[in-house]
Structure 1
Amino acid sequence: MIYKNTNLQLNINPQIKRSIAANIQFSTQDIDTAKLAFSLTKDGVPLPISKATHGKLFMRFADGSKFYVNTEVQDALKGVIFYVLTPEQVKHYGTVQAELYVNYDNGQKMSVHKFSFEIDRALVDQDIAPVAEYYIDDFESLKAAVQEMADDAERVIAELQKKFENLDNIETKEGAQEKADAAEAEAKAYTDVHADKIDNPHKVTKAQVGLSNLDNVKQAAKTDFDAHTADNVRHITADERTKWNKGQLYKLTQDNGVRILIPDGTDLLTLPPGFYYGLNNRLLNTPDPNDAGWFNYDIMDGKSGRKTIIATASYHNKMWFATIHTDGVFRGWQRVITDTDTVVNWQSPTLLNGWKQYGSHKVQFSKNVLGEVEVIGSITGGTVGFDVPAFILPTGYRPLQAFHFIGVASSVGTDSIPQYHRTQIATDGTVYIQSCSNTVNPNEFIAFGFKFKSA
């Protein structure tokens, strides 16, 4: 197959990104050849596309048409996906606003990037006439569409003519009023005469009005009223009424006991006591505005207006605690650390300038929930030097300020005398093996084991 190939390099991260005006232009004559390809990376490496990963593309064309479509996988390991515009889509010429998403089977979703591209109206298409939501590619089709609209107009005109003919038979307002006044006068005269009659002119009997169906019984005795009054099953006591009036009248949950959904845009700090849930990034004053998952909120009031809020993330078991003091001041959210937070993700950096992993003691780095970065492992075979990088730590894993680490080096060739190396970790994440006390085999074995607070 032949395509007009494009390739957008898109990195998935939470940094502020503006919509890309892609240098891409298709034509309305690019039938089944307008191909959008995307290379996805995450943390500087390709994002693998598995069976549980689904690329979704949303497009809004210049004429207001919208399409939300599935992409296809071109290279799963390199994270390359693509979409070919359909013949109907490519006819909507002008600037197209688009956004790419990645959805997973476990419910997670990510917005990758917004971008735009152009569809140029080909010369051969500039005589095509748009009718309703369709494109007319030839004169005969346009003629048939116009004729159909003309037929509809003729039918409407014929119906209107029939309605106008009926108007000639409608009585005037003045004539109708005269008839109505005369009928009202006659009716009033008749009812006045009839109302003065007291001799039962219609000969109504007691059977006709239902009197024969009534029982001729006396009113209930006083003892019966007294017994009814003393019936405590039918009537509540004053103490019971007081108890009910003092009962809890405010709902903490829905009628079925389920938590209450918080409307989008609500400020959490203004909610009364209760049990709630809502989408975190759609609410105000949330514990983590960047978290788009569902949260449960327990809001409790203490003495003198003090308010306590506990927030729990539904998907990843994270918890926050917040307090609004009696003076109304909000002191911010405090993260509650759990055993789940002790689990870290170890990663291996890309080694540079000849350095290789030393056996099974490979170099790895991780960051815990407190923001502490730890580097462990060993390397061998590379170049030692003040300005020669051994590897580079990615953004988010870099120190607040540059520092040095003194570690164990190989003692091979130095009569087993312990040796050491001096390593610098710069604020841009670059790691330099600056020097080694073993001048015989300086790069035979370099070991790491240090920790620092990330920037």
Structure 2
Amino acid sequence: MNDKAHADLFNDMVRVLLENDTGLLEHLLKHTNDGGVHASETEKKKWNESQSYKITADSGRQLINVSAGGSIFDAIKDKGTCTFYAAAGVEDSPALPNVSIRGLQTVGQDNIGSGFAIDMSGNAYFFYYDAGHTSITWTKLPTESDRNRWDNGQLVKITQDNGKPIYHGFASETDYNTLTQTGMYLIYNQGINGPSSFNRVFLLVMSYGSTLVQIAYESVYGKNTYFRVLKHNAESWTPWEKQITLSDLLEGSWETPKEIKSNWKEYDPINLPVKYRKNLLGEVEIVGAVKGGTLGNNAVFNLPEEYRPKQAMHFVGVASSIGTPGVPQFHRTLIDKEGNVCVQSSSSNNANPTEFITFGFKFSTR
């Protein structure tokens, strides 16, 4: 029988089979008429190139199990990323001997890896090993140095959580006597028992049991600072004391005499005017120059009451040397308790004794 005869015989058999098996014919026709693609080339490529390595078991549990007496290092050192479980009693587990541990190796290649693990007591660990290592290096988290730093940290807040001072706003009236907890405060109200005329204050409170210190910094111009103390077993605070600054010492507006008397005149009203001022220490300074008046206890001018010394004071100043070339001249000035400023005498310059009399004195009113 030739090939054509074989083909005809096969076709006849298929035709008979199909004609006598309606169910089979229906299935074949349904498959033939199905226009949907059963698997595209893209899908086949994705399946063929997908990662076949598992990091967990098919059940979703750990991939690697290490029994008691085994070694975590030996079990995972040649693995990639993977999950593992080590029973209690594993020789290189960082946990206590009776505690199991579960972990994840996040980076792994031959004999190089790192990862994290948590034991059943809730302790966390970081681990790593490198090429040439024969064991895992474990570090408990947080580290010992971190725990010591946190344990030794200050437990009492002295500011808000954002680092800003504890705020007392306009809606309240702050009683400074109640602020006894060590801390930093910002008080934006008039308050009571605080420094006078302060309504915007940075306040520092330092407490050592029954001894307290409050330091108040005026926050608008930044120039005034006051402090007070509540001493051990004292019933009340000390009065608020102002802290003197260099700016305070340099401040103090200049005043001019209401009247220049006894025929005296200012020597140079533009460059050497007669004037005086007082700083916060109660020190009065007098500067300037006069000429032409009467020597003795006749006042050149008079100081206001708050600028006067507690007792009479004498000063020596520079006088004119006209007529006595090369010989320095001087004068003696009296400032008495009534505030009279008197040029009592000049030196041996008899020719021009009052031609040039200078003031450059400072004294205390306290």
For Structure 1 versus Structure 2, the TM-score category normalised by the shorter chain is 0.3 to 0.5
TM-score normalised according to structure 2 size:
0.47
